[in-house]
Amino acid sequence: MAKQVIWCVEDEQNIRDILEYTLQSTGFESRGFKDGQSFLDALQQEALPDLVLMDIMLPNTDGMSLLKQIRSHTQYAHIPVIMTTAKGMEYDKIKALEQGADDYLVKPFGMMEMVARIKAVLRRCQARQNNIHTPHENEKIGVDLQSRQAWIIEEDQKEFLDLTKKEFDLLALLLSQPGVVFSRDDLLDAVWHTDFLGETRTIDVHIRSLRTKLKTYGNQIETVRGVGYRFARNDD
């Protein structure tokens, strides 16, 4: 299998060197960019990376506007992005996640933590991709991750659902692996990008609202008592 390719946009050369070295020694192919322009040039001219690790504080074009450009371009919108920035910039974190970053690392972060986060994001995105490329003929509920539309089929009519961003992310994640139980921790981590356990009630509230919006298919999201939620498998 070809190695997964990680691009690192980081202006500080010593950090960039460590990132690249760590990635290469943990089975990835990696490439560093010292600024946004060289990154954007490569994006247009070369095979797309499997994931981008992006510093927010960069000369000229900062990481946040690079993220915006990636997310608003249909050809690149699916590329997973993990943002990195200095400690104490909590505002940046929220902004990055709202702009569609898949995860966030606060400097200084450990190299093994970075590798673990990259692998987790890649796993999650792979599950989503599989879901896009293998739609079932008789699928009654569907999501399109590029247009971020979700729908149900009722009486042979496709009815689009009006979901919030989090409801959409939750549905897409559950749908990506029918039958697999996601704990509240998994969902918090994947959709809310936090592991603060005080927030688990938030999940229950979103699931309830999602079930209502799914109408007759609401019961397809099953509660697994004491653990979390799963999407029903049709062949059960």
Binding site for Ca ion (CB under 5 A): 11, 55, 57
CA max distance for the chain: 60
Tokens of 183: 């704990």
**Which residue sits closest to Ca ion, CB atoms considered?**
57
Helix (H, G, I), strand (E, B) or coil at 205: helix
Min separation Cβ 110 and Ca ion, Å: 18
Residue 29: CB atoms within 10 A of its CB come to 15
Min separation Cβ 63 and Ca ion, Å: 8
Angle at 236 between CA 207 and CA 180, to 5 degrees: 50
Report strand pairing: 228-231 vs 182-183: antiparallel
Which CB, 57 or 232, lies closer to Ca ion? 57
Residue 167 DSSP one-character state: H
Residue 34: CB atoms within 10 A of its CB come to 16
Which CB, 11 or 29, lies closer to Ca ion? 11
Min separation Cβ 94 and Ca ion, Å: 19
Which CB, 11 or 189, lies closer to Ca ion? 11
Which CB, 88 or 226, lies closer to Ca ion? 88
Min separation Cβ 55 and Ca ion, Å: 4
Dist CA 29 CA 50 (whole Å): 10
Which CB, 90 or 154, lies closer to Ca ion? 90
